[in-house]
Chains A and B, each alone.
Chain A
Amino acid sequence: MKCHNCHMGTVSPVAGPGRTTRYKSLPNLAVPADLAIMTCNHCAEEWMAPADAKRIDEVLDVVYRQELRRRALEVLPGPHEAARIERDLGLSHGYISRIRKGKVPSADLVALLALIYKRPGLLREIEAFWEGKAVKRVQPKSKRRSGDDEAVVEGAA
């Protein structure tokens, strides 16, 4: 089929290493080298029919889940913090330990765990929020004074 993007190339199945794609929450998921995708030989635009989309999705979903778990393992809390985080995020007891043993967490949980890993103070802010303290929205960085970094919940410090 001719490419309806560039009108110069021809579209045919292409497989190979070094490709990435946006898939669900991940902007650069590695595409398995053996996954053939209809690709233009001139502009590299990728095309799909519904049957291709299903096949591509089945393969990418496996890679995506592996990547989610790998990212989660990078930011999982230690055993002494795990119970507090499970409580504050409404997870069942032992959930974090189950991720360590192979459970695939959701993308939103991995994102939260990553934020808490990067800014441990967020956990106290979450607790203050659950305690019912007023929440103040943080201004975009350009509008903030320097050093005014984490003023999210009143009385949360």
Chain B
Amino acid sequence: MKAKKPHWSLEDAKRLAAEGRLFLSKTKAQAFFPDPWTAATKAQAVIADLTERQFAHTLQQTDICDVYGVRLDGKGWYVKLTIDDLLVIVSLHPLEKPLKTNAGEVKP
């Protein structure tokens, strides 16, 4: 089966993250990270390591968002991002259910 392609260029996402032009919700991050700095650095690291094999699907919501499933510290995580001048990490949290990506199913 042909691998799915993300709507947003991963190269652009990585460049924005590396430049610190990344925004994430502090309100949501505090549920999963001990402090803002840990959340922000983890988000930057996740984006830096992201590949198209981890891409799951694109959501056509109010924003067009790309969804990825990644493994972090032995667990599956859900990453939802969009680009609006800045890279916006809309969601970054442990998976609640398995997610199908180009590389296969990522489990919680």
Contact = CB atoms under 8 A, between A and B. Distances in A.
Contact of B30 (A21, A52, A61): A21
Given A46-B26, A56-B26, A4 B20 contact: no
Interface of B: 20-31, 34-37, 39-41, 43-44, 62-63, 82, 84-86, 88, 90
A155 to B, nearest CB: 38
A22 interface: yes
B25 A53 contact: no
Interface string A54-85: 10110011000000000000000000000000
Given A4-B90, A7-B63, A47-B25, A24 B35 contact: yes
Contacts of A50: 20, 22, 40-41, 43-44
Contact of B88 (A4, A21, A23, A56): A4
Given A46-B26, A53-B39, A60-B35, 5 more contacts: A4-B25, A7-B62, A24-B34, A49-B21, A57-B35
Given A1-B84, A1-B86, A22-B30, A49 B37 contact: no
A13 B27 CA distance: 14
A37 B23 CA distance: 12
Contacts, number: 80
A141 to B, nearest CB: 26
A86 interface: no
A45 B25 contact: yes
Contacts of A47: 23-26
Given A50-B41, A50-B44, A51-B20, A2 B84 contact: yes
B8 to A, nearest CB: 13
A49 B40 contact: yes
Report which residue of A4, A56, A57 has the largest number of chain B beta carbons within 10 angstroms of its beta carbon: A4
A48 B26 contact: yes
Report which residue of B22, B35, B44 has the largest number of chain A beta carbons within 10 angstroms of its beta carbon: B35
Contact of A4 (B29, B37, B40, B82): B82
